[in-house]
Structures are given as C-alpha cells and as structure tokens.
Amino acid sequence: MIDSAVIVDGKIAMFYKNPMPKAIGVGDKVHIFSCEHGVSLAFVDESEVQPLLDFRGGCCNKRQQVVFLATETLYQHWLHGKGGRE
C-alpha cells in the first residue's frame, strides 16, 4: 500500500499537472487522464504508480515530472468542483 494515496474502487488516483485530457503511455499501458473542473486524474493499479511517477514530460526539451499522486483535495475538486468542498 502506498502511504497518502487516494484509493477509489481499488485504484490509486494519479494527477497530471496540466488541466487537460491526456493519454500517457508507459510500457505497454496507456493511461487516460480525465479532466473535470480543471483537474486531470487517472485511476491506476498500484503496480502502475511508480512508472507513472517516473514518467517525464514537458515542452522545449524540458524533461520534468508531470504526474503525481493525487491528494484528497484534488480528488474532491475533480468530483465536485468548488475547490474540493462539498
């Protein structure tokens, strides 16, 4: 189990730093990040977390981390909007 992970239906919530739909391929898997209320999330198996955290992206030859573990606040905002408040 990953400490501080947000788990939804047995999947771990991952956050893509840009507020847009995004497909990220790592190995033979493609992860689709869905954007709701300006937050892009994907829900993945625990075995897929580290490869996504290791993924580097960015423009202009800048290779930087673009995927992070989602926080509970990000998840709630993705669900409901309103800054994560219900």
pLDDT tens, position by position, for the chain (86 residues)?
788 899 999 999 999 999 999 999 998 999 999 999 999 999 999 999 999 999 998 777 778 999 999 999 999 999 998 765 66
pLDDT of residue 83: 67
The region, left, alpha or beta by phi > 0 then psi within -120 to 50, assigned to residue 28 is: alpha
Distances (CA, A) of 70 to 20, 39, 57: 15, 10, 18
Domain ranges of the chain: 7-84
Cβ–Cβ under 8 Å, residues 41 and 16: yes
Question: How many angstroms separate the most distant Cα atoms in the chain?
Answer: 40
H helix and E strand count, the chain: 2, 8
